[in-house]
Structure 1
Amino acid sequence: MMYSMLQIGYTKWSEIPQEDQELWFRQFAQEFNWHPDHTETVRIRFKAKAMDSYTKQVNAWKKVWQKNKRPRNINGRVFEQLIVHWQKDETAETSSRNSKNRKSDRGGKGMYVHNLGACSMSTKEDELIEANDGNPVDRLQLIKVAHTNKKTGQIQDLLIKDVVDLVETEIASQSQPLSDDGDSVGASTNLSRLQINEMVEKAVPKRKGGFLVGLARRASSYPASSSQAPYADPMILEELHDKGERIVALEEQNATIQAENATILAELASQKKTNAEIMEKLNRLFASSS
C-alpha cells in the first residue's frame, strides 16, 4: 500500500486523511476474514501497525536520499514531496532536537535503553501474547521483558527500573497473603490485568501527545471486559456479508451443475440402453431374413 496507494508525501501517518486511512483498512479487509464483532479490535491493531510501519518506511527512504540515491518503486511525486520536507530548516532543527532529547540524561537517569534490538514494542507484545496461548499480558510484564538485559538479568534503564519497582511495590501492598501468618512472601497477586495496566500507566512518564515512555499504545491497554457493545463498521460488515452471499451462491451453483450432470449421465445411460435394444432387434431381423 505504501508504494501503490500512497499518492502524497505525508511525513507521518497522522497526516494521512482519515478517509485514506480507512481506504487502506478496507484494502486490508479484502485479503482477510474475521468475525464482525472483532472489526474494531482489528482496526485498532491495524492502525497501530500501519503507523509503526509507515514511520520506519519514511525513515528508510530518508536514509536512501541522504546517500544521494533513490528508493526503488517509490511514487515519484511522493519522493519529491518528502525531499522538500527533509530539506526544510525546521525539519533539520526538529531532527536535531529529537536526537538531543534521546541522548539527554533525563534528570540523571541516563539515555533511554531497551533490549528489543530491531524488534518493536508492539511486536514483542504480540510474541508474549502468542507465548501466553493468545491471552493478553499486562504492561508490567511487557515493560520488564523489553528492558531486562538477557545476560545480566537487570533493567539497565534507571527510569524504567524505578517504574517497575514502584508498580511491584504497589502490587505487593494490594495483594492478599496466602498463609495465615501473614507472610508477605506467600502473597498472591490477585489484581486484574486492567488494574496492573493502570498502575503502570500512572507510573510511567508521559511524553508529548500523551505517549508513554517505554511503551507502545496498543489495543491491549483497553479494558478487557467492557460493557460497551463492540463497534462494527457498516461498510466492512456489508463486505463480509457480500462475501458470504457469494460463497452461498457458488455453492448453490455447484449443486445445480452437479444435478444437471447427473441428469445428463442418466439420459446418456438410457439412450445407450435404447441403442443396445435397437441393435439387438436389427441383428435378429438380419438373422431371420438370411
Structure 2
Amino acid sequence: MAEFVKYVDVTKCDGCKACMVACKNWNDLPAEVTEFQGSVQSHPKTSADTWNVLQYIEHENGKGDLEYLFRHTSCMHCKEAACEKVCPENAISYSKFGSVVIDHDKCVGCGYCVENCPFEVISLKTYKDKNGKEYKKSQKCTMCTDRLEEGLQPACVTTCHTDAMQFGKKNEMLLKAEKRLSEIKSRFPNANIYNPQGVGGTHTIYVLAEKPSVYGLPESPKVPTSAVLWKDYAQPIGKAMIGATTMAVVGAFITNSIISKSKNKNKQDEDGGGSHE
C-alpha cells in the first residue's frame, strides 16, 4: 500500500489553532491547564493530553524586522522511528499508512520512547486502576489512523482553512513541497523542506521559511546506532536464546544505556548540523 504524508506549509499558516481544537475533539482529549506562556501560544509543547500544539515563534529576519513564525507541532511519524526501536514490549509499530502507533494493551509505561524521541512529542499519562493503583501509558498523535482506516483524512488537516496542511500519497506531497519551495525562495532565502533522512524521512514533512532550528526542530535527528543494534539484532537473538521474559530484563539494562547515549547525541545534533532540503 502507498505511504501517506501530512504536508505542512508554515508560510500559509495564520496561527488560528483550529488544528489543535480538531485534534482535541476527535481524540476526546481533556482540557489541560497550563501556565501563562507570555504570548499567544497556549501550551509550551505537546503532552499526554495535547497531541497537537501551534507554536508561535518571535524571529528577527534578515532585514532586521521582527516577525511571528507559526508551526503546527505533533508526532513526525518517522519511517525509522527511534521510539519503535527502543520499545522493549513491541508496543509501537507502523501502520499500513506509515503512521507510528502505540498499542496501549502492550505498553508498560517504561518511558523509553519518551526519552528517545528526537522531536520530544511523546509523553506518559498516569491512570488509576479499579483499586486505585497508578500506572502509566505513552501517548502521542496517531495521525488519526482510525480515520485513515475509514478513508478519511486527519482531523487537523480537514479543519485547516488556509490549506497550510494537506494529506496525500508521499510522492505527491513531496512534489507539492518542491513546487512550493521554488515559489517562496525569493521571499524566504533560507526556506527548506524538512524531511530528515537520519530517521528514514518522516510522514509529516514541512516547508519551512527558516532553518529547522529556528522552529525548535533538530537539524539532523538520527536513530541511535545502539537502538538499531538492540531492536534489529540483540533483541531477536536474545529472545531466541534465553526467552522473552529474561530478555525483557536484559532489554531494560540495554535501553537505559540507549537513553543516555541518545540524549547526548540529540544535544550535539541540535548544537550544530546541516539543513534538509
- The structure having more radius of gyration, on CA atoms, is 1
**How does the TM-score come out when normalised to structure 1?**
0.24
**How does the TM-score come out when normalised to structure 2?**
0.25
Query: Looking at both structures, which has the greater relative contact order when contacts are Cα pairs under 8 Å and sequence separation is at least 6?
Result: 2
Structure with the larger helix share? 1
